[in-house]
């Protein structure tokens, strides 16, 4: 199906990136609350479109299969009423990964994750021997393809993984935590190298004319607080994040942060020092989105917030009632975009996700 011919699920769901931009800049009220997500899993995308999941590319050079997946993503974003399409840039960093059967109802593949117990870099000798990519080795095909195939009214939100994430992934979380105290020279070298790599990527993605905002995914917390001591974040992570924010702002782009976990101990740092424009990822067990809006909504845009666990375990009518409560709390004053508290994972019932969006489309209208 041609991308421009996709029929949206709701008549008023005409894409207009200016709507989302008004929220991200906290510049008055939009016509309705815009939707936002960091990403949606391919199985959800295909289910919403009522299509088979586009096959995974066999190799990194399989551009035809890659493009088919991106086409589905673009059609999905148009169909559900987004004002943007996300496009990721992933530097070629080899790391230790694990996988197991994915038990989600929609899934037909393995679910993978990074080995938290063992990494590929554990010493300065490993650091020196690691095949670090050069800036010219980074592949921007996804960004270019999405940008060249955007529906009218949309822009790209360019996404990358984050400063802390890449360092932890390369070292393994447990060895990384030990090295913070036992090998600060290695830790400093890792953050400097990753910071420089991401800075080169941001210089490219922020310069693209169809990029409307950037979204850094950098998980820094868990339900009980930050993943490392706040002082370590302030020493190693925040200066590198601030460098990325400065690049985005020099290009006139909002900088959005997705970070899981309870970050209340460092939210002032993120807003006042790092300079983020929007905060994403909330969970009812530690900081419901309504409370986040009350605490921080006058200083930063609040994004998403429908608790994923609730979305998984509830029925559509319960989801609708929850959606109304979130909107009643977060809409006043603007500066709020609606979506899940994390991402549209393949274990979220599609009927619940669509009920969430449908209720928001009906209720989330400013007078």
* Residue where the block lists tokens 């207009």: 16
Domain that residue 142 falls in: 3-363
| Beta carbons of 132 and 140 less than 8 angstroms apart | no
pTM here is 0.96
| Beta carbons of 191 and 167 less than 8 angstroms apart | yes
**What's the confidence (pLDDT) of residue 272?**
98
Alpha helices in the chain, H assignment, sequence order: 17-24, 42-49, 63-79, 124-129, 141-148, 163-171, 173-182, 184-205, 230-232, 238-250, 267-268, 289-296, 308-313, 316-330, 350-363
State how far Cα 270 lies from the chain centre.
16
**What's the confidence (pLDDT) of residue 204?**
98
- Residues with Cβ within 8 Å of 316's Cβ and at least 6 positions away in sequence, in order, are 351, 352, 355
Alpha helices in 25-112, H assignment, sequence order: 42-49, 63-79
pLDDT in tens, the chain (367 residues): 556 668 889 988 899 999 999 999 999 999 999 999 999 999 999 999 999 999 888 887 899 999 999 999 999 999 999 999 999 999 999 999 999 988 887 876 788 899 999 999 999 999 999 999 999 999 999 999 999 999 999 999 999 999 999 999 999 999 999 999 999 999 999 999 999 999 999 999 999 999 999 999 999 999 999 999 999 999 999 999 999 999 999 999 999 999 999 999 999 999 999 999 999 999 999 999 999 999 999 999 999 999 999 999 999 999 999 999 999 999 999 999 999 999 999 999 999 999 999 999 999 999 8
**What's the confidence (pLDDT) of residue 29?**
97
CATH number at residue 319: 3.20.20.210
- Residues with Cβ within 8 Å of 62's Cβ and at least 6 positions away in sequence, in order, are none
CA dist., res. 136 & res. 124, Å (int): 24
**What's the confidence (pLDDT) of residue 75?**
97
**What's the confidence (pLDDT) of residue 183?**
98
Q: Residue 266: what are its φ and ψ, rounded to 5°? A: -125, 10
**What's the confidence (pLDDT) of residue 4?**
60
Apex 271 CA angle, 268 and 272, nearest 5: 75
**What's the confidence (pLDDT) of residue 197?**
98
Tally of domains within the chain = 1
């Amino acid at each position: 199906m041609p991308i421009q011919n996709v029929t949206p699920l709701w008549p008023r769901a005409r894409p207009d990136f200016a709507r989302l931009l008004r929220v991200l800049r906290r510049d008055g009220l939009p016509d309705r609350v815009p939707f936002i997500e960091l990403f949606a899993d391919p199985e959800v995308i295909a289910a919403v479109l009522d299509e088979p999941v586009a096959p995974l590319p066999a190799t990194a050079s399989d551009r035809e299969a890659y493009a088919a997946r991106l086409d589905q993503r673009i059609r999905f974003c148009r169909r559900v009423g987004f004002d943007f399409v996300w496009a990721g840039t992933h530097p070629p960093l080899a790391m230790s990964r694990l996988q197991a059967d994915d038990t989600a109802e929609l899934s037909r593949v393995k679910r993978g994750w990074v080995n938290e117990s063992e990494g590929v870099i554990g010493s300065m000798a490993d650091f020196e021997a690691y095949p670090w990519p050069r800036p010219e080795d980074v592949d921007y095909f996804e960004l270019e393809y999405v940008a060249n195939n955007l529906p009218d009214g949309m822009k790209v939100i360019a996404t990358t993984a984050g400063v802390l994430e890449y360092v932890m992934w390369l070292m393994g979380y447990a060895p990384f935590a030990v090295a913070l105290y036992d090998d600060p020279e290695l830790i400093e070298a890792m953050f400097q190298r990753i910071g420089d790599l991401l800075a080169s990527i941001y210089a490219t993605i922020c310069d693209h004319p169809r990029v409307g905002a950037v979204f850094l995914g950098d998980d820094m917390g868990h339900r009980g607080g930050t993943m490392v001591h706040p002082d370590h974040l302030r020493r190693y992570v925040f200066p590198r994040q601030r460098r990325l924010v400065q690049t985005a702002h020099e290009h006139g782009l909002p900088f959005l942060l997705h970070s899981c976990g309870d970050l209340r101990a460092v939210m002032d740092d993120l807003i006042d020092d790092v300079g983020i424009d929007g905060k994403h990822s909330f969970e009812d067990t530690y900081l419901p989105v309504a409370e986040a809006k009350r605490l921080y909504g006058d200083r930063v845009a609040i994004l998403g917030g429908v608790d994923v666990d609730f979305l998984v375990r509830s029925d559509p009518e319960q989801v609708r009632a929850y959606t109304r409560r979130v909107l009643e709390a977060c809409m006043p004053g603007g500066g709020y975009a609606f979506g899940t508290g994390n991402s549209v994972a393949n274990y979220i019932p599609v009927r619940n996700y669509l009920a969430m969006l449908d209720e928001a489309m009906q209720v989330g209208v400013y007078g």
